[in-house]
Amino acid sequence: MPANSDFVTLGKISGVFGVKGWVKVYSYTDPREGIANYSLWYLKQRGSWIPIKVKSGKKQAKTVVAQLDGINDRNRAETLIGLEIAVKREQLPKLAKGEFYWSELEGLRVDTIDGVEIGIVDYIFATGANDVLMVKKLDGGESLIPFINKDVIKSVDLEDSVITVDWDPDF
């Protein structure tokens, strides 16, 4: 999702739970059940974000389940499988200075401290040690850059849409 979008994707509906219309949710939030803290979700249907109220949500074993307003049976819940879940950007909690949501970093240009453009952040993933930027390089290749503040990531400028890194562009 483009960083300038009004919506931030937090997960998707992955299945149904029970017979009373509850849905299983594959959540991108950390912690996973954090997605249930939002009382209003937007589901992407036919290219548009449609608002839906969340009546209840909770962690259920290794997944999250939610009951949505107006979804009262399994058949109706099945029609939602595969739909993306988003919230409006302004619904997200404010972060401290120097902290960023992944969605803010995706799509940013990555330059070295010497001014060499490496490419564009395609997506970010977590490892045990740190987050990693997957950068689509200008030559069509890919570069994995660890998000280690001060050592590798020298600056993040959201206004100019650029991340400056101390990194070998050929790596």
pLDDT, tens digit only, all 171 positions of the chain: 344 478 999 999 999 999 999 999 999 888 999 999 999 999 999 999 999 999 999 999 889 999 999 999 999 999 999 999 999 999 999 999 888 988 899 999 999 999 999 999 999 998 888 999 999 999 899 999 999 999 999 999 999 999 999 999 988
Instruction: Verify that 80 and 107 share a domain, yes or no.
Output: no
Instruction: Verify that 86 and 107 share a domain, yes or no.
Output: no
State how beta strands 109-112 and 162-165 pair. parallel
Classify residue 96: in a domain, yes or no: no
Classify residue 2: in a domain, yes or no: no
Which residues constitute the domain of residue 62? Answer: 7-91
Where a domain ends, among 91, 121, 156? 91
Q: What is the DSSP letter of 33?
A: G
CB-based contacts of 32: which residues, under 8 Å, 6+ apart? 59, 63, 64
Burial of 65 (0-12, 13-18, 19+ CB in 10 A): buried
CATH code of residue 127 = 2.30.30.240
Where a domain ends, among 56, 91, 126? 91
